[in-house]
Amino acid sequence: MAAYYIFVMRFGLVDSLERNAQIKTYDGVHWHYEPWDMDIALGNKNDGGIAFEPPIDRNTKLPGSRGTYAISGRNADENGVIVTSNWLFDALENWDYWMNTIVPKVADALYVAGLKYDNITKMFDDEYAAKWCEIMYNKSGFFKYVESGKGDPTWLSWLQGSRMTHRHWWLSTSMDYYDAKWFCGDYKDHYIYMRANVSAGSD
């Protein structure tokens, strides 16, 4: 569960914590998250377009909104008072041992296993985006968001091409933030030494 939580936070999977996922078991002993429909990520909002700068978490709100949160499962009234929220992740985030011990340890284990910025961008860029020429993104976008809309501009913000530059910036910022928050990954390799000298007899 910690691994899935980390994955959602790092990638900004705003539609994948409250829904589009199931906790499943095949033997009644070992349980895991099984997600689907994970295309709303890296700053996108549920109803279209890029809305969120990195990093985001369960407290991030839609810019300009008092009651709409980035990650599904939490809503507030017009006064900003939370009226619905995912009880499971509320409990976990309020559990000090989960947030300050379990999550950082799992985050570091994932880093060691290969969940690193360089590996992620290589997978996105070389194993997926590079398989399609740019004209295919443009043609697909035109068909889905322009031609099928018959002049309705509602979906124009979804015309984003391969999103390579945006993806690099968003992932880099998010990964750096969560590495620092959870004291793992590349963050542990960057440090400075500070030494202070005090004169004898001084206070």
Mean pLDDT (the chain, rounded)? 85
To the nearest whole percent, how much of the chain has pLDDT over 90?
33
Q: pLDDT band for 112, please (50, 70, 90 cuts).
A: very high
AA letter at 26: Y
Rounded to whole angstroms, how far apart are CA atoms 87 and 92? 9
Distance CA 4, CA 13 (A): 10
pLDDT tens sequence across 163-185: 888 899 999 999 999 999 999 88
Of the candidate ranges 91-100, 121-130, 151-160, 169-178, the one whose mean pLDDT is the lowest: 151-160
Distances (CA, A) of 75 to 54, 59, 110, 128, 131: 20, 10, 31, 34, 39
- Strand duo 75-76 + 82-84: pairing: antiparallel
At 170 the pLDDT is: 94
| Per-residue pLDDT at 141 | 77
Residue 39 is which amino acid?
D
Is it the case that residue 160 has pLDDT exceeding 80? no
Question: Does residue 158 register a pLDDT over 70?
Answer: yes
Number of alpha helices (DSSP H) and beta strands (DSSP E) in the chain:
7, 4
Model confidence pLDDT, tens digit, residues 181-203: 999 888 877 777 777 777 666 65
What's the chain's Rg over C-alpha atoms?
A: 21
- Segment 105-126 mean pLDDT: 93
Residue 71: is its pLDDT beyond 70?
Answer: yes
Higher pLDDT, 76 or 171: 171
Confidence of residue 48 (pLDDT cuts 50, 70, 90): low
C-alpha–C-alpha distance, residues 28 and 81, integer Å: 38
pLDDT, position 202: 61
* Mean pLDDT within 40-49: 79
Locate 70 and state its tokens: 């980035």
Contacts of 11 (CB under 8 A, 6+ apart): 41, 42, 171, 174
- Banded pLDDT at 113 (limits 50, 70, 90): very high
